[in-house]
Amino acid sequence: MINFQAIKVIFKYEMLRTWNTLFQSIASPVLSTSLYFIVFGSAIGSRIPSIEGVSYGLFIVPGLIMLSLLTQSIANASFGIFFPKFTGSIYEVHSAPISFFEIITGYVGAAATKSFIIGLIILITATFFVELRIAHPVWMLVFLVLTCISFSLFGFIIGIWANDFEKLQIIPLLIITPLVFLGGSFYSINMLPPFWQTVTLFNPVVYLVSGFRWSFFEVHDVSVGTSLAMILIFLMICLLTVGWMFKTGYRLKQ
């Protein structure tokens, strides 16, 4: 039987931490994204012709949202589990009569919810800069939710793996951010030479951005089915990894 009360307590605690650091948690990524719109959408976008029939200012909206979703999902989830490890309170959670499923649901659910809220706020913010249209709103929400959950799980893994604050930042800064910028967030991979198009297909972020962009403009670099399959595979890998970490007690037990 699932202990919904335990999930609720963890979820409310994590969400309360967000409201206590409102500027850092929500206002900061929104302001950063607004600057991207001003620099890329207005200043640079005015000098770039439309891409696949979509104006450049509109074209970068899904990529900017995805950039914020990935970074915020990882940051929220990784810090959410790392801080209890750092203070030692994670052992109290372990000793409580709750399963690893309930712990994951509470922490990851809160991180994914925060990222989802940020994504919606950025989406609303984009309407102040461009005349936004969404061709498939239901699929847009599907990709939004799946991305928030899968990368919150990935951040949860990083938070368990890291044993200091430096390691907590290594993967997001040195791996995830470059992958996002090189994953078609600000351009179509069809604009690249054939060789680099092939190389780019090994970047998993390409599939996220492509599927998400299709839901807006019906424009994509890879098929929608492939994009959906890739994110589901990534989600399952993260679930299995987290399950293994809790089963073995990897960096969770003294």
pLDDT (tens digit per residue) in 63-109:
989 988 898 899 889 988 998 888 878 777 777 788 888 989 999 99
Q: What is the pLDDT of residue 241?
A: 95
Q: What is the pLDDT of residue 3?
A: 85
| CA 220 to each of CA 133, 192, 196: distance values in angstroms, whole numbers, following the listed order | 16, 14, 17
Q: What is the Cα Rg of the chain in Å?
A: 19
- Dist. CA 212–CA 184, nearest whole Å: 11
Q: Are 70 and 119 in contact (CB under 8 A)?
A: no
Q: Are 143 and 235 in contact (CB under 8 A)?
A: no
| DSSP classification of residue 47 | G
For the four alpha carbons of 224, 76, 11 and 24, in that order, the dihedral sign comes to: negative
Mean model confidence pLDDT for the chain: 87
- Element of type H or E holding 233: helix 224-248
Residue 54 bridge partners (DSSP) = 51
Burial tier of 139 (Cβ tally within 10 Å: 0-12, 13-18, 19+): middle
**pTM of the entire predicted model:** 0.91
Burial per residue of 111-121, b for 16 or more beta-carbon CB atoms within 10 angstroms, e otherwise: bbbbbbbbbeb
Q: What is the pLDDT of residue 11?
A: 92
Segment-wise mean pLDDT, segments of 10 residues, the chain, 254 residues: 87 82 71 79 71 86 89 90 84 80 92 91 86 92 95 94 88 88 88 90 92 94 94 95 88 71
Q: What is the pLDDT of residue 237?
A: 96
For the four alpha carbons of 35, 29, 204 and 79, in that order, the dihedral sign comes to: positive
Residue 51 bridge partners (DSSP) = 54
Q: What is the pLDDT of residue 52?
A: 83
